[in-house]
A and B are shown apart, each in its own frame.
Chain A
Amino acid sequence: MNLSPKFDATAATAEVGHPVAHDSAERHVAGSAPYIDDLREPAGTLHLAPGHASVACGRVTTIDLAAVEAAPGVIKVLTAIDIPGVNDCSPAMGDDPILANGEIHFHGQVVFAVVAETRDQARRAARLGQVAVEAATPAVTIEDGEATGETVLPPYEFLRGTPDDALKGTAHVMSNSMRIGGQEHFYLEGQVAMAVPGEGDEMLIYSSTQHPSELQHIIARMLGRPDAAIVCECRRMGGAFGGKESQAAQWAALSALAAHLTGRPAKMRLDRDDDMIMTGKRHDMRADYKAAFDERGVIEAVEMNFPSRCGYSADLSLGVNDRTMFHADNAYYYPHARIGSQRIRTNTVSNTAFRGFGGPQGMVCAERMMDEIAIRLGVDPLTIRKRNFYARGRDVTPYGLKLEDNIISAVVRELEKTSDYKARRRAISRFNKKSRILKKGLALTPVKFGISFTLKHLNQAGALVHVYTDGSVQVNHGGTEMGQGLYIKVAQVVAEEFGIPVGDVKITATTTGKVPNTAPTAASSGSDINGMAAKRAASAIRDRMAELAAKLHQSKKSEVHFAGGRVTAGNGEMTFAELAKQCFLERVSLSSTGYYATPKITWDRSTSSGRPFLYFAYGASCSEVTIDTMTGEMRIDRVDILHDVGRSLNPAIDIGQIEGGFVQGMGWLTTEELVFDGEGRLRTHAPSTYKIPTCSDVPEDFRVNLWASKGNRENTVYRSKAVGEPPLMLAISVFSAITNAVASLKKGKVPVLDAPATPEAIMRAVNAMRAGG
């Protein structure tokens, strides 16, 4: 770890670029940072628990709720007919009923919700419901879904050049397939919301959500009320990772419905098992790929196809699967390419956003192709990777974007050196020659990740900044805090603008009442767009303050400086608070909104043309693993990471995102396995069966550094780069290292290794290596 990046971001800035602690760090450790379930409940608060059918698909014939209604403490049982307005909590497509309406589409779909005096009473009563279903055979797997031919959205394709010709013509052609598993978010704070009825048609909803605006709109629509009557607020989430972008809405809506019908505050906090069964996950996919390459391993053409288990509805599958396609190149140039995606409908929970948003699956496939070419040609995989990197003259992506900020070769060259790749490669070869049971593998893989929402209209943000007459500053913006440190980064930006210590900036909860019509906090965009909006709001106020300061001290506005909590204007000097007070007395507004729309975004999906990303974040990681070829067990020995965050707004926060993202990706690709049974029931619905990494899974030898960047080429906030999602994909080096270790068993043979690489999956790959052929 290196908290002092090699570039000097702090030279010109007093607050931005410093490793300031998370704004809530002291409250986190003291247990005094309240999450929604910790808030004092208004007197008379009711509690909800969901009820579902026992099967994954079919037509509901009867719902017998007599026993539920008779259970102790039960006030009401909600079903679809209780919804006065629109029964839908989907982000766009209108296909996610809040309460099932006659049809069951997946196991765990909510049919009714119990409203009771206590949570325990609600949960116990919910078990008493009898939902009779004329059960049909569920489509559970991708292959089941392919067989039915049902999709949630039409297929989509990028085509460049003539891949078919190339795939016929070249001497080296490969054709293969791999499976890439899904992933449960496992935010530590489960889904939770509390609705408090107000006067008239007003309602205040506290929700652990990445998307307060969408919740507001869904609830307004459900109740048939104007958006303006509904306020949604979120101070912090106990983790989200994409799992509270669209998936928080249903529970907030049910709370609001209960509050509407009873006139009492209502809270819904899902039990962990219900949460895991009822909310969407990362899409699992099959990656089918063909590639033609020359004798040096340079790719001439690819054909990649990603059938994807979307679950029963569209949810965010359009954007997710598009992003798989956008990242099927990772950092590699494909002269001819066909990249396709099938959005398969299955009778499973609707899959959703998850850090990386489809990108990781595309990149895993790209890296598998590199590994396979290397094995076929008997060349070090890193050599093959480097030969295929985007470079001058080979810098247009399959979707037509010309890379302007490509630094991948330089990043990889540096990491290759600092990780001592070559010497370790030799040592590992020696080890594998001598060691019978244990085999080692090493891989260095790149990351290139596009930053911006691929849905153009989401690339906008608003902020609201107030300066009070005592000089204290309150900042609010549309971004939500889920642990990523967005609030502190934005506070640093605002403090910088006013030349005051970051401690003087009061951070407040995100609420639709202060900043309306916001985008979800997603796509790594939080600090880019909200930071910029807040900067503009602060800058507008500062401008007015500077004007007055100049007037008061007979100097020019350009000679007014804000620094260290003081304002100097010519020869005059005063504290920031004194100037604020003066502004009030002179009737100068101390409040401003700020607005930012990401420039240069021109993507047109219908023609697959234009620019979907403002810039790319780059990084690379090198992982060394040891596998046990008798049991399939695996240990990670060392990890080196070099990652590009532009000029860091806060290197401590950024390092935290990089390390945490890597470990989350590592879990996705190794221990985290979602198992559905033949009836479509999730069997891994608790941490006892679904295994995210623990501390010992993270190698003690874990070396993380920030790339010595001169700053983002694009004019982002203080030339920083987004950091939320890209580091997750650094973990692909672990998967490739395992592939490398398995490959050592037989020269020239390509391991059949699927993700996640559990002991069983590794053992399957090992056995396939040892089998004939």
Chain B
Amino acid sequence: MSERGSIKFRYRGRTVALTDVGPMDTLLDWLRLDRHAMGTKEGCGEGDCGACTVALGSLRDGKVVYEAVNACILLLGMIDGKELICVDDLARDGELHPVQQAMVETHGSQCGFCTPGFVMSLFTLYHRGGAVDRSMVNDQIAGNLCRCTGYRPIADAAIKTCSGTPQDAWIAAADEAAGHLAGLDDGHDVFIGDAASFFAAPASEYALAALYSAHPDATLVGGATDVGLWITKQLRSLPKIIHTGRVKSLHAITEDADTVAIGAAATYAEAEEALGGIDPDIAEMLRRLGSKQVRASGTIGGNIANGSPIGDTPPVLIALKARLQLRHGETVRDIALEDFFIDYGKQDRGAGELATKVTIPKLEGDQVFRCYKISKRFDQDISALLGAFRFTIKGSRIRNARIAFGGMAATPKRALAAESALQGAKLKDRNVWENAAAALDRDFSPIDDMRASSDYRRETAKSLLMKALIEVAGEASSNTRVTGVRGGELESVA
């Protein structure tokens, strides 16, 4: 396939083609420093506050779908083939967009600095269409911090204006935009720069594997929700960037009766339905992972490949007995996901090798699953710890338990001692529960950090195991949780 030495995207109705794109250029810097488009703000430079939120339109099944993303940590090259919409672009002929007008009417801005980001998050909610309630709004703007209003007027603006059928300039131009984006999707491999320093976004898995194999020192970037911070915060020099996002096969999500397979470049948002379909607790874990912006960019493959001990999907996937596919050039291999994580900062991934797919067994009829995330704040926080539990129940006994924790060790890790304490035990035997909980002390020696003390982690890990067992033994989660109550268990004891 041929190469293209530029990125192309739709901006203000036209194609912008850029040939001068550095590997570490961010979208926000392009907007503010190159274009002097100052509506989009930098609040934190790490994708946590949402002041830099812009909307990106992507072609999905022939339609343009808008998602909110954080421009501060998104690499400029990554918007190839997308439509870029910023807060400065919404008002038309002096008339505010409906979401802007609603924000004015509900007094949704005070200092106004976070406001452009909220407007863009609401813009994407507006384009989703359909009914909108408060919990959807909470979810939509979990990645937008406001320090002034207390959010109520913003939520009111969202509910007021985002319910129903969208009607704006973007709806009017929907066909044109779709055609435009289809035209930009030329299947060429993007490569800007030279062998020493480049931004590359190959279009095929083959080209990706070949390029990475030739440049094993390059940095692979999925959604840049982590790598972006290496650039904006650590000021690391990353002269070679290979973006995985344009490889369609790596976005593939396939499902059969027994398994779900997710391509490594699939975003959390893309994987949400299939993964969350395995169990409502997984859907809730994904809902609380990052924010809409982070989930629109971040990838399942990235969450695994960066090897963090506090990534939220690895313990869940490990408890589900997922397998990871890796590829080096033409060579493909497949390992148990838990074996991928060797030690802090060390994974079973060779130079030039990349993760391509994770395959997750669905729950069998006799299996039940629970997972719990503990963080200081419910939404858009990084776990202090996360526990995932899969029990195979036979009659009144636990035939098998798979338990994995994040935040408890240098890697996401199984609790083998606790698992074995539960093996074959009576499901409702509290003594067994206590033993299994005590066994967690043999499995883990967690650390103290700014998220929690080692004592709290240790004791809470036990509590999470106990809670899982209490629930699996029959207690409704409405009686055991203050958040994330499982569907159909809403009745309360009061």
Contacts and interface: CB of A to CB of B under 8 A. Distances in A.
Contacts of A482: 111
A24 interface: yes
A759 B374 contact: yes
Nearest to B104: A25
B460 A238 contact: no
A760 B452 contact: yes
B392 interface: no
Interface in A193-237: 236-237
Contacts of A758: 376
Interface stretch (B85-93, B245-253, B300-308): B85-93
B141 to A, nearest CB: 5
B130 interface: no
B463 interface: yes
A21 B104 contact: yes
B141 A695 contact: yes
A635 B44 contact: no
Contacts of A671: 376-377
Interface in B190-232: none
A691 B87 CA distance: 26
Interface stretch (A74-82, A428-436, A561-569, A589-597): A428-436
Contacts of B459: 763, 767
B45 A239 contact: no
B166 interface: no
Interface stretch (A89-97, A448-456, A513-521, A623-631): A623-631
B134 A700 contact: yes
A311 B377 CA distance: 27
A675 B376 contact: no
Nearest to B457: A760
A123 B116 contact: no
Nearest to B115: A28
A631 B43 contact: no
Nearest to A25: B104
Given A188-B111, A660-B149, A628 B481 contact: yes
A760 B41 contact: no
A696 B158 CA distance: 14
A236 to B, nearest CB: 7
A653 interface: yes
Interface in B32-73: 32, 36, 38-46, 48-49, 51
Interface string B421-434: 00000000000000
- The interface size bin for chain B is 35 or more
Contacts of A697: 377-379
B142 interface: yes
A272 interface: yes
A1 B41 contact: no
Given A239-B113, A630-B467, A427 B377 contact: no
Given A631-B463, A694-B142, A31 B152 contact: no
B137 A272 contact: no
A108 to B, nearest CB: 15
A688 B382 contact: yes
Interface in A17-64: 19, 21-22, 24-35, 37-38, 40
A436 B478 CA distance: 12
A695 B119 CA distance: 15
A32 B460 contact: no
Contact of B450 (A22, A34, A40, A683): A683
Contacts of A633: 374, 378, 481-483
B374 A631 contact: yes
A696 B138 contact: yes
Contacts of B42: 37
B494 to A, nearest CB: 4
A484 to B, nearest CB: 7
A504 interface: no
A124 interface: yes
Nearest to B116: A31
A702 to B, nearest CB: 6
Given A21-B104, A22-B107, A188-B49, A238 B482 contact: no
B36 A695 contact: no
Nearest to A662: B150
A684 interface: yes
A758 B453 CA distance: 12
A272 B43 contact: yes
B146 A634 contact: no
B449 A435 contact: no
A239 B44 CA distance: 14
Given A38-B38, A691-B376, A435 B111 contact: no
Interface string A231-275: 000001111110000000000000000000000000000011100
Contacts of A300: none
Contacts of A185: 147
Given A273-B233, A630-B463, A438 B88 contact: no
A684 B451 CA distance: 9
Contact of B110 (A26, A35, A656, A673): A656
A85 interface: no
Interface in B128-149: 134-135, 137-139, 141-142, 144-149
B152 A686 contact: no
A671 B377 CA distance: 6
A431 B494 contact: yes
A694 B44 contact: no
Given A28-B112, A30-B100, A630-B466, A188 B145 contact: yes
Interface in A692-719: 692-698, 700, 702, 704
A696 B112 contact: no
Given A29-B119, A427-B494, A687 B48 contact: yes
Interface string A628-656: 10111111000000000000000011011
A634 B482 contact: yes
Given A434-B494, A695-B155, A627 B147 contact: no
B113 A663 contact: no
A688 B376 CA distance: 11
B45 A272 contact: yes
A687 B46 contact: yes
B418 interface: no
B376 A686 contact: no
B41 A435 contact: no
Given A653-B107, A656-B148, A688-B382, A188 B482 contact: no
B480 interface: yes
Given A189-B41, A664-B147, A689-B450, A26 B480 contact: no
Contacts of B340: none
Contact of B145 (A236, A438, A659, A692): A692
Interface string A163-194: 00000000000000000000001111110000
A747 interface: no
Contact of A238 (B103, B113, B144, B492): B113
A54 to B, nearest CB: 16
Interface of A: 1, 19, 21-22, 24-35, 37-38, 40, 123-124, 127, 185-190, 236-241, 271-273, 427, 430-431, 434-438, 482-485, 626-628, 630-635, 652-653, 655-656, 659-664, 671, 673, 675, 683-684, 686-689, 691-698, 700, 702, 704, 758-760, 763, 767
Given A435-B479, A759-B384, A759-B456, 9 more contacts: A28-B115, A35-B41, A185-B147, A187-B147, A239-B147, A434-B494, A482-B111, A626-B482, A760-B384
Interface of B: 32, 36, 38-46, 48-49, 51, 86-88, 90-91, 96, 100-101, 103-105, 107-116, 119, 134-135, 137-139, 141-142, 144-155, 233, 235, 372, 374-382, 384, 449-453, 456, 459-460, 463-464, 466-467, 470, 479-483, 492-494
20 contacts: A25-B109, A28-B112, A29-B87, A29-B108, A30-B100, A31-B87, A38-B38, A238-B41, A272-B45, A435-B494, A633-B378, A660-B148, A661-B150, A671-B377, A683-B449, A687-B48, A693-B150, A695-B137, A696-B142, A759-B460
**7 closest A-B pairs by CB:** A31-B39, A483-B111, A238-B113, A28-B112, A663-B150, A483-B110, A31-B87
